[in-house]
């Protein structure tokens, strides 16, 4: 690190903070401005903000860890979630915008009735806003700690101080700017982070030790470059393992995980900060386009620079232990970039880190304020009071998330834990929009059952992830279906009001509203299938072109573009339901 590197990092920090200062008054007018940007974001800002949030400091390191351990196919841990994100685009983006609520947890008392709904809302505010949120921010801080250790030489005795300092900076500008400032800085931060990763990929690929794509292919076993898994795990001469899943494991990833498990950024039915961005969009059209742009960018555009650097790190650092393989990405930065570029890459990592942490601080605070404090503790205060308390709660979350670093060992391990502990909940989150009989007890049972099934699968039956999903999902599904029919339905007045506001379609509402609605379920299903093929076409076309298979890559790109054009025409025509604003 030279003076020019520190100058670049300083300019980045200053620019981010200036945006927060400029937006301070606008964000502080009321909680809707603070948490939803006044519901006025255009699709390209709200969509890019989604991409920036899921592009955290941990994701390049986690992808490096997956690729070094299991080849490119190791990314199926998260590539399988394409179907869930595309489902959100066509089935749920417009519904979230129509709901006209402040948080997705507020949805609970819009959709359900009575004390169970109030109990569930308060519980989820704490569970998601504090417990799950601090775990997520904790694994992002684990990645930041790795950067501090390798780039700046920070010792273990000081690492918490450095992380706390970083969290305080992000916490202060998040508290000042609200979602307005966070979304605007997210766009800037995404550009910096993406540009930095592309530069690093190009630079290390051109190193003499690598020798470009052809040299990389010669240096690593062919199986490492497979885009889909094989049948079993086998060690290779390079000391890596090529991912091959049993048939049951691959089926769990492809057909179970994406709809059954709650996971931040890929919640079945939308939710979390993705729902927050959809609800902050100008209208239904912008909500759909934002989510579509996010899904394409998240899966098809972002991962390839990380994958290239991960593959190069396998050649450059073959002696890294399994626990240290994620460090290959940062070591490539430190050892092979010249002054100036290393400062840009550190700024890129900080940008990725800040965009994620700032969103999670704002998102978690929105639950605590809107769904706990304002709902149950202080109901009749003015908006200035709620904004002030929101800013204080943001700083409290900074302390909690810093301490959570001590409990997290590996990033990909934390990913798996979150997926397993949310297995089975996803079906309730989807069906609550389209089936009147789902009630608050359905969701309560679906949230708690995995915490019984998970230890049974892991410690009693000795079933490992992802095969454990079969047991956990089956156990959870039985529990929530039993709870649904063992308890009273939602009050019919509440159901009618919900249907009138949100206007979902399908046979699941026939008993309440005669089956009327604005959605053509069959048309939405067609859009969903075409959208899945489109995203995977873009994902694999970029990979094929990078590795010199231009004919296949071009063919997949043409297929993806053709489907994008066709889907756009269908959206404008309303083939999948009424699309207000198209």
Q: What is the pLDDT of residue 25?
A: 67
| 66 domain-assigned | yes
Is the confidence at residue 319, as pLDDT, over 80?
yes
> Residue 566: inside a domain, yes or no?
no
> What's the whole-number mean pLDDT along residues 206-218?
92
Tell me which of 186-190, 301-305, 328-332 is least confident: 186-190
Provide the 3-class DSSP secondary structure of residue 42.
Answer: coil
What's the rounded Cα separation, in Å, for the pair 226 and 211?
20
Residue 235, token pair as written in the block? 């060690």
pLDDT at 448 over 80: yes
- CA torsion 15-16-19-20 (nearest 10°) is -140
Q: pLDDT at residue 27 above 80?
A: no
Domain that holds residue 399: 3-421
Query: How far apart, in whole angstroms, are the C-alpha atoms of residue 172 and residue 161?
Result: 16
Nearest Cα neighbor of 491 from 111, 25, 5, 133 is 111
CB 520 within 8 A of CB 575: yes
**Structure confidence at residue 391 (pLDDT):** 87
Write phi, then psi, for 344 (nearest 5 degrees): -65, -40
**pLDDT at res. 429:** 93
Tokens of residue 76, six digits: 């199926």
Tokens of 460: 């009693």
Q: How many helices (H) and strands (E) does the chain have?
A: 29, 2
Asked whether 480 and 424 are in contact (CB, 8 A), the reply is: yes
Residue 239's pLDDT is 43
Q: What's the CA gap between 177 and 139, in Å, rounded? A: 24
Segment holding 392, helix H or strand E: helix 383-403
> Tens of pLDDT along 512-533?
876 555 567 888 999 999 999 9
- As a whole number, the mean pLDDT across the chain is 85
Distance CA 219, CA 240 (A): 12
Q: Mapping DSSP to helix (H, G, I), strand (E, B) and coil, where does residue 235 land?
A: strand
Residue at 483 is within a domain: no
Other Cβ atoms closer than 10 A to 515: 12
How many residues are present in the chain?
582
CB atoms within 10 A of CB 11: 12
CA 175 to mean position of chain CA atoms? 22
Q: What is the largest CA-CA distance in the chain?
A: 71
State residue 519's pLDDT score: 61
- Of 118-132, 242-256, 301-315, minimum mean pLDDT range: 242-256
Least confidently predicted of 55-69, 431-445, 536-550? 55-69
pLDDT-derived band of residue 234, with 50, 70 and 90 as boundaries? very low
The 3-state DSSP class for residue 406 equals helix
Which DSSP category does 463 fall into?
Answer: P
Query: Do 250 and 541 form a contact (C-beta atoms < 8 A)?
Result: no
Tracing tokens 């409290």 back to the chain, one arrives at 396
Residue 236's pLDDT band, with cuts at 50, 70 and 90, is very low
pLDDT of the residue at 416:
66
Write the CATH number for 342: 1.20.1730.10
* Residue 521 lies inside a defined structural domain of this protein: no
Chain centroid, CA 324 distance in Å: 24
How far is residue 442's CA from residue 279's CA, in Å, rounded to a whole number? 25
Q: Is residue 158 part of a domain?
A: yes
**Over the stretch 49-97, which tens digit does the pLDDT of each residue have?**
999 888 877 788 888 988 988 889 888 888 988 999 999 999 999 999 9
pLDDT tops 50 at residue 235 = no
Q: Is residue 579 over pLDDT 70?
A: no
What pLDDT, on the 0 to 100 scale, is given for residue 28?
60
Closest alpha carbon to 227 in 76, 83, 85: 76
The CA distance from 218 to 202, in Å, is: 18
Print burial letters for 188-216: b (CB count within 10 Å at least 16), e (below 16): bbbebbbbbbebbbebbbebeebeeeebb
pLDDT at 154 over 60: yes
SS3 207: coil
How much of the chain, in percent, has pLDDT values that exceed 70? 91
Domain assignment present for residue 478? The answer is: no
pLDDT at 404 over 80: no
Long-range contacts of 106-113 (CB under 8 A, 24+ apart): 106/370, 106/371, 108/440, 108/443, 110/498, 110/501, 111/432, 111/490, 111/494, 111/498, 112/439, 112/440, 112/443, 112/490, 112/494, 113/440, 113/490, 113/491, 113/493, 113/494
Task: Provide the CB-side half-sphere exposure for 16 (13 A, CA).
Answer: 31
Distance CA 157, CA 362 (A): 30
CA–CA separation, 368 and 360 (whole Å): 12
Structure-token match 């002054």, residue found: 339
Mean pLDDT of 439-454: 92
- Of 71 and 575, the one with more pLDDT: 71
Stretch 143-169: mean pLDDT? 84
Over residues 422-441, mean pLDDT? 92
Task: Specify the pLDDT at position 238.
Answer: 41
pLDDT-based confidence at 121, cuts 50/70/90? Answer: very high
Q: How far apart are CA 411 and CA 123, in angstroms?
A: 26
Token couple for 26: 């606008």
Instruction: Using the predicted structure, report yes or no on whether residue 193 has a pLDDT greater than 90.
Output: no
Q: Which helix (H) or strand (E) holds 200?
A: helix 159-205
| pLDDT higher than 80, residue 431 | yes
Answer whether the bond into residue 466 is a cis peptide, omega within 30°: yes
Q: Is residue 579 one of the residues assigned to a domain?
A: no
The band of 17, judged by pLDDT with boundaries at 50, 70 and 90, is confident
The DSSP code sequence of 482-547 is HHHHHSPPPPHHHHHHHHHHH---SGGGHHHHTT--SB-HHHHHHHHHHHHHHHHHHHHHHHHHHT
**Average pLDDT value for residue range 457-467:** 83
Asked if the model's pLDDT at residue 580 lies above 90, the reply is no
Lowest mean pLDDT among 77-91, 357-371, 504-518: 504-518
pTM flag (> 0.85)? yes
Of 274 and 243, which is predicted with more confidence?
Answer: 274
Burial class (CB in 10 A: 0-12, 13-18, 19+), 476: buried
With bands split at pLDDT 50, 70 and 90, how would you rate the model's confidence at 113?
very high
Crossing angle, helix 58-70 and helix 303-316, to 10 degrees? 60
CA 435 – CA 359 distance, rounded (Å): 31
Q: Is 406 domain-assigned?
A: yes
pLDDT bin (cut points 50, 70, 90) of residue 292 is very high
In the chain, the number of structural domains is 1
Residue 152 is given by DSSP the state S
């Amino acid at each position: 690190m030279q003076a020019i590197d520190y100058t670049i990092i300083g300019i980045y920090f200053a620019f981010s903070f200036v945006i927060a200062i400029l937006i301070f008054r606008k964000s502080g007018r009321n909680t809707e401005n603070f948490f939803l940007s006044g519901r006025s974001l255009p699709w390209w800002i709200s969509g890019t903000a989604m991409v920036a949030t899921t592009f955290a400091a941990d994701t390049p390191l986690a992808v490096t860890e997956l690729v070094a351990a299991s080849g490119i196919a190791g990314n199926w841990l998260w590539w399988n979630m394409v179907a869930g994100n595309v489902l959100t685009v066509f089935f749920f983006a417009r519904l979230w915008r129509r709901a006209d609520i402040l948080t997705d947890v507020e949805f609970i008392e819009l959709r359900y009735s009575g004390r169970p709904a109030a109990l569930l809302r308060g519980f989820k505010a704490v569970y998601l806003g504090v417990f799950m949120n601090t775990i997520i921010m904790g694994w992002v801080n684990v990645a930041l700690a790795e950067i501090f250790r390798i780039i700046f030489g920070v010792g273990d005795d000081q690492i918490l101080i450095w992380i706390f300092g970083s969290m305080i900076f992000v916490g202060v500008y998040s508290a000042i700017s609200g979602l307005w400032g966070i979304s605007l800085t997210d766009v800037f931060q995404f550009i910096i982070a993406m540009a930095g990763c592309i530069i690093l990929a190009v630079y290390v690929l051109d190193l003499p030790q690598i020798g470009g794509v052809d040299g990389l292919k010669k240096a690593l076993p062919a199986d490492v470059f497979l885009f889909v898994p094989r049948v079993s795990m086998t060690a290779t001469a390079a000391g890596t393992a090529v991912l091959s899943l049993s048939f049951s494991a691959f089926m769990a990833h492809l057909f179970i995980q994406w709809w059954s498990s709650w996971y931040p950024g890929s919640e079945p039915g939308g939710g979390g900060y993705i729902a927050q961005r959809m609800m902050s969009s100008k209208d239904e059209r912008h909500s759909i386009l934002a989510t579509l742009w996010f899904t394409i960018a998240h899966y098809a555009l972002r991962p390839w620079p990380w994958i290239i650097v991960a593959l190069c790190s396998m050649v450059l650092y073959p002696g890294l232990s399994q626990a240290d393989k994620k460090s290959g990405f940062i070591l490539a930065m430190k050892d092979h970039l010249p002054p100036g570029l290393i400062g840009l890459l550190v700024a890129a990592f900080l940008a990725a880190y800040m965009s994620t942490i700032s969103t999670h601080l704002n998102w978690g605070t929105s639950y605590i304020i809107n769904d706990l404090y304002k709902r149950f503790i202080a109901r009749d205060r003015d908006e200035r009071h709620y904004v002030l308390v929101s800013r204080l709660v943001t700083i409290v979350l900074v302390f909690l998330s810093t301490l959570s670093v001590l409990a997290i060992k590996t990033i990909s391990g934390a990913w798996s834990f979150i997926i397993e502990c949310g297995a089975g909940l996803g079906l309730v989150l989807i069906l609550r929009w389209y089936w009147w009989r789902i009630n608050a007890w359905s969701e309560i049972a679906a949230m708690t059952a995995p915490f019984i099934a998970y230890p049974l699968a892991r410690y009693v039956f000795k079933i490992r992830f992802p095969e454990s999903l079969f047991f956990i999902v089956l156990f959870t599904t039985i529990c929530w279906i039993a709870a649904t029919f063992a308890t009273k339905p939602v009050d019919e007045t509440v159901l009618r009001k919900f249907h009138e506001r949100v206007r979902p379609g399908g046979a699941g509402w026939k008993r309440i509203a005669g089956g009327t609605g604005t959605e053509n379920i069959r048309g939405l299903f067609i859009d969903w299938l075409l959208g899945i093929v489109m995203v995977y076409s873009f994902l694999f076309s970029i990979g094929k072109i990078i590795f010199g298979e231009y004919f296949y890559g071009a063919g997949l790109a043409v297929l993806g573009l053709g489907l994008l054009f066709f889907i756009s025409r269908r959206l404008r025509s309303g083939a999948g339901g009424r699309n207000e604003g198209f």
